[in-house]
Amino acid sequence: MSNVGGSVARWRTVDIVVAAVLAVAFGVVFQVANGLWSVTEGAFKFFPPAQAVLYGLWILPAVLAPMIVRKAGAALFTETLASAVSVLLGSPYGAIVIVQGAVEGLGAELGIAAGGYRRFGIGVALLSGALGGAAATTWDVFYSYASWSVSWKLGYIACAAVACAVVAGLGALLLTKALAQTGVLDRFPSGRERASV
């Protein structure tokens, strides 16, 4: 990972601004996701761990930001800040979600790091989403669902990993490609790769 000491470690002002704007926007999305979680609980009474399929909405910024700005720490920074914004907007879960956001961001960051901060294709995106979802729900099973059986805990983590690979991983990749086609990402390496998904 020699590249980490190079340009991917040096954040420009535009990188910070874009990651922060994404975090604020997704802080609002997190509030919508919080409401969605509450209203769908009844639909998952048959197997509560399956509700983890909704986690992709929370993990999306942790994959989208590094796909766009391509800087080490983008997943951790953006997800943590988005969680803080959701707290400021009245998250029903309280300030502890900032810590959980950092855990989620770190999970997604590990997926990006696995690509050496040089590869940002579908494999890295899917891995980043899956690890972000697994990190989020691993936190949950210790913090919120300690009384669940081991099989329910593992099912919860697995559901989130798969859902987040698709929604956050693939979703972030497709969003990045779509934004690049408009030209708004031309100041980023992601914007100069307009060919092929």
DSSP letters along 60-80, please?
A: HHHHHHHHHH--TTHHHHHHH
Q: Judge contact between 177 and 192, C-beta under 8 A.
A: no
Q: How many CB atoms lie within 10 A of CB 142?
A: 10
Give residue 194's pLDDT: 55
Residue 8: per-residue pLDDT: 77
The predicted pLDDT at position 183 comes to 85
Q: d(Cα 48, Cα 16) in Å, to the nearest integer?
A: 38
Euclidean distance between CA atoms 150 and 137, whole angstroms? 13
pLDDT in tens, the chain (197 residues): 334 445 777 899 999 999 999 999 999 999 999 999 999 999 999 999 999 999 999 999 999 999 999 999 999 999 999 999 999 999 999 999 999 999 999 999 999 999 999 999 999 999 999 999 999 999 999 999 999 999 999 999 999 999 999 999 999 999 999 988 888 888 887 877 654 44
Structure tokens at 55: 């986690």
Terminal Cα-to-Cα distance of the chain (whole angstroms): 24
Sequence spans of domains, the chain:
2-192
Architecture of the CATH domain 2-192: Orthogonal Bundle (1.10)
Q: What is the pLDDT of residue 23?
A: 97
DSSP structure class, residue 118: T
In this prediction, residue 188 carries a pLDDT of: 84
What count of other Cβ atoms lies within 10 Å of the Cβ of residue 184?
12
